[in-house]
Chain A
Amino acid sequence: EAGVAQSPRYKIIEKRQSVAFWCNPISGHATLYWYQQILGQGPKLLIQFQNNGVVDDSQLPKDRFSAERLKGVDSTLKIQPAKLEDSAVYLCASSSTGFTLHFGNGTRLTVT
């Protein structure tokens, strides 16, 4: 089966600019996650979707981050405006059953 697809792989922007990341989960996976992985740390959950509804967004900085999952399939994560501390790898994962997460290769964001 095809894995979780993410794009772009790399993105460099200046602070205060906006950026968007895209994720296509494994076909049929109802649950989709966005994680932020800052250099030297483990991934941290930003938002969890079940189909097209939000299950948990308690750690999403809502003043600048937004995410949507239209039609319960693809998802986009947006940052506007970006700050230097947003430099990280953004990982998308999907799951058909609880706890068995499949991760994409991530998008590495550098904010200068």
Chain B
Amino acid sequence: AQSVTQPDIHITVSEGASLELRCNYSYGATPYLFWYVQSPGQGLQLLLKYFSGDTLVQGIKGFEAEFKRSQSSFNLRKPSVHWSDAAEYFCAVGATSGGSQGNLIFGKGTKLSVKP
């Protein structure tokens, strides 16, 4: 069964520092992978997605993610964090089997705090 693991529950970084949020997935074939961000009281906003092709994916708000098949990882990165990036980040994999094609399976999320 497909699954997503986000090992870090909470990360704190200083403003201006670089960021890397980890995501590992379990899936037999080439997965469809996503990163979403959720601010308090808001829905989920898509940051970026990987379907195929170039393994380094650029997203909105200066985020990027790299798909590494050998490590079953899809880590999210940003070179310089802004205070407005404080939010919860979710990694997800697209379900491609059975009746739920098109559905997303989410990790438990990583809460990002930014120190001034």
Q: Which residues of A contact B (CB under 8 A)?
A: 4, 31, 33, 40-45, 48, 55-56, 58, 91, 93, 95, 98-101, 103-106, 108
How many chain B residues touch A (CB < 8 A): the figure is 27
* Docked-complex contact B102 and A98, CB < 8 angstroms: yes
Contact of A99 among B4, B102, B108 (CB under 8 A): B102
Q: Give the Cβ gap from A39 to chain B, nearest Cβ, in Å.
A: 11
* Docked-complex contact A48 and B103, CB < 8 angstroms: yes
* Docked-complex contact A101 and B104, CB < 8 angstroms: yes
Contact of A56 among B36, B46, B100, B106 (CB under 8 A): B100
Contact of A91 among B34, B44, B92, B108 (CB under 8 A): B44
CB-based nearest A residue for B107: A42
Q: Is B99 an interface residue (CB 8 A)?
A: yes
Q: Which residues of B contact A (CB under 8 A)?
A: 4, 32, 34, 36, 41-46, 49, 51, 90, 92, 94, 98-109
Docked CA distance A101–B98 (Å): 18
**A48 contacts across to B, CB distance below 8 A:** 100, 102-103
Asked, given contacts A45-B100, A91-B43, A104-B43, whether A98 binds B108 with beta carbons under 8 Å apart, the answer is no
